Amino acid sequence: MKKTGAELVRYALEQIGVTHTFGIPGVHNTEIYDQLNMSDQITPIMVTHEGGAAFMADAVSRVGDGIGTLVVVPAAGLTHASSGIGEAYLDGIPMLVLCGGVRNDLEFEYQLHQMDQHKFMGGLTKATFLPQSHEEIIPALYEAYTIATTGEPGPVFVEIPVNLQLMKGDVSAMPAYERKMAPTMEGLEEEIAKAAALLKTAKKPAIFAGWGSRSAREALIDLAEKLEAPVATTLQGISVFPENHPLHTGMGFGPSAVPAAQAAFEDCDVLIAIGTRFSEIPTGSFGVTVPDNLIHIDINPDVIGANYPAKVGVVSDAKAALSALNAALGNDTGRDDRASNDVRSVIASKKQEYREEWKAHDSKDRVNPVSYFNGLREQLPEDGIVVVDDGNHTFLAAELMPIWNEKGFICPSDFNCMGYAVPASIGAKLANPDKDVVAIVGDGAFTMTCMELLTATRNDIGVVVCVFNDGELSQIAQAQELPYNRKSCTVLGGLNVEGVALATGAEYISLNSNDNSSEAMKSALEIARTGKSVIVDVFVDYSKKTAFTKGTVQTNFKRFPVGTKVRFLGRALARKVTG
């Protein structure tokens, strides 16, 4: 049979369950867009910038049932999208990056948009594909999808030359996609037995859970309750364990963690880490103390033992591993002996003390962060989704916004892109049209991608975007205060958030008082449920630092050589005196 390459692309995307694509049409992909426009399953979404498209696709993969998919033009469109692709790559998020390509049937060089896209994508994706014939298109897309969604997930790049899209060619068949079998624990029985033996003899076991354990929520809860073990999560892993569970402690467990986590993890003698790479943010710049008895479960073998040596390493999908571990433990876990540790009451009291400490902080004429988050938690339904950007507000949200539901919190992590939250909230809403989606973004990050609210308006997508407005790139500005006594390139000028709302067709709500946080969030959510996006302008107080910020600064400062410490302190003192 004869088919155009664009027809084959549409068929393959429908077979693997794609529901939305994100990008901007151009001369090298208009045939694909025309085919997508005819699909009853796939809705192509035009964005204002391909960087926003990649963040939307990322969010679809994080909180949806399908895979986030880009359809972009080559060269400029791909390079614009690369930040979001890189975020997905380092965070372990599956993504299909589908791009047009220059003609491969001409003898001419220097075609429009001609560049080596595969060399460019090589460091940002798990694999790249360049079909040379119509027959290769469907198999390439199926293989790309399989690679993106198995093992440690990540983005995969496929370039379709424009001549293949435009012209008909012979294909022998239109095969259906065959899904891969679920992972098993075959061959890992010995490691599971070793892990169970360690845990049975532990006096103070604890659990550190990352994004990789997101599909193992029930097994994770079962394990924590069997062991009566406190559970901390990574930043990206927030929502893998319910924060209203009495064994939940917070993000991280070292000097950069909240007091509940520090207290609960004190004297931990066996740590089980699941789906985490012990990367810089969740470890507070590698400031954590990991016990010799570390059980490390991860689907990526390169992760195990990379930063902290593991006594037992289990290379496995988290759900399969935890199910096997729970079975191996049975009911013989020593839980009765551990009950005397009273870890639940320690966690509860420390959490309460920390919130009271925040409530007592004088924010003067600005909004106390704990007041804002109390209002948001009061009004957001349990299944709501919170999308956070990169900045000071990230760690405020991690410490002060309890997330109860699975996949209820997403944010940029290891790649750490600013500008993530606005477009990602749109992707999250498209993947979950019946759920409330709230983005939290600093004013600096907001300026990067705020115009994607036009995409929301064009498509009647109602999201709430809360802009933490303080006029600075506050996370860096605060870090500049002590060593430099000045703020270099971190003071923002003249952002009119209400003007952005007017320009993008969003509603505007001003939140400048601790007294009306709940009322403001209630109004914003009610408007968003009508299909209209809302910007909430939060005049936030950033003067009180998070536990993460204080702990991480101290950890890094301790690592400096003595001479560097003296130089930093001397310079800070001199500038303080001289102004």
303-316 pLDDT, tens digit each: 999 999 999 999 99
Domain membership of residue 21 (yes or no) is yes
Decide: 453 and 500 in contact? Cβ < 8 Å. Answer: yes
Is 311 in the same domain as 400? no
Residue 410 lies in a domain: yes
- Reference 275, options 245, 244, 320; nearest CA is 320
- Examine residue 184 and state whether it is found in any structural domain, yes or no: no
Residues 331 and 407 both lie in one domain: no
- 182 occurs within a structural domain: no
Report the predicted TM-score, pTM, of the whole model to 2 decimal places.
Answer: 0.94
Start-to-end C-alpha separation, the chain: 78
| One domain for residues 35 and 110 | yes
Residues 147 and 270 in one domain: no
SS3 category, 278: coil
398 and 486 fall within a common domain: yes
User: Where does 409-504 have alpha helices with state H?
Assistant: 421-431, 443-449, 453-458, 474-484, 497-504
- Residue 57, Ramachandran bin (φ over 0: left; ψ between -120 and 50: alpha; else beta): alpha
Cα 99 to chain centroid, rounded:
24
73: helix, strand or coil: coil
Q: Looking at 170, 200, 229, which one is the last position of a domain?
A: 170
Distance separating alpha carbons of residues 260 and 353, to the nearest angstrom: 9
Distance of CA 504 to the CA centre of its chain: 25
Does 356 map to a domain? no
Q: Are residues 157 and 259 in the same domain?
A: no
- My answer on whether 146 and 219 are in the same domain is no
What would the two tokens of residue 527 be? 């408007």
Q: 138, 170, 202: which is the final residue of a domain?
A: 170
The CATH number of residue 163's host domain is: 3.40.50.970
pLDDT tens across the length of the chain (579 residues): 999 989 999 999 999 999 999 999 998 889 999 999 999 999 999 999 999 999 999 999 999 999 999 999 999 999 999 999 999 999 999 999 999 987 777 676 776 667 899 999 999 999 999 999 999 999 999 999 999 999 999 999 999 999 898 889 999 999 999 987 766 667 789 999 999 999 999 999 999 999 999 999 999 999 999 999 999 999 999 999 999 999 999 999 999 999 999 999 999 999 999 999 999 999 999 999 999 999 999 999 999 999 999 999 999 999 999 999 999 999 766 555 555 569 999 999 999 999 999 999 999 999 999 999 999 999 999 999 999 999 999 999 999 999 999 999 999 998 888 999 999 999 999 999 999 999 999 999 999 999 999 999 999 999 999 999 986 656 666 665 666 666 666 567 778 999 999 999 999 999 999 989 999 999 999 999 999 999 999 999 999 999 999 998 888 778 878 877 677 767 767 676 666
Rounded-to-integer distance, Cα 520 and Cα 379, Å: 9
Q: Do 373 and 497 reside in the same domain of the chain?
A: yes
Q: Do 243 and 326 fall into the same domain?
A: yes
H helix and E strand count, the chain: 23, 20
Q: Specify whether 269 is located in the same domain as 380.
A: no
What domain count does the chain have?
Answer: 4
Q: Specify the pLDDT at position 105.
A: 73
The residue range of the domain holding 371 is: 361-547
User: Does residue 431 sit in helix, strand or coil?
Assistant: helix
178 located within any domain: no
Residue 542 CA to residue 483 CA, distance in Å, equals 18
* 466 shares a domain with 391: yes
Task: Assess if residue 215 is contained within a domain.
Answer: yes
Question: Is 292 a domain residue?
Answer: yes
Distances (CA, A) of 548 to 64, 372, 428: 30, 19, 27
Q: Are residues 236 and 126 in the same domain?
A: no
Indicate the residue type of 146.
Answer: T
CATH number reported for the structural domain that contains residue 271 in this entry: 3.40.50.1220
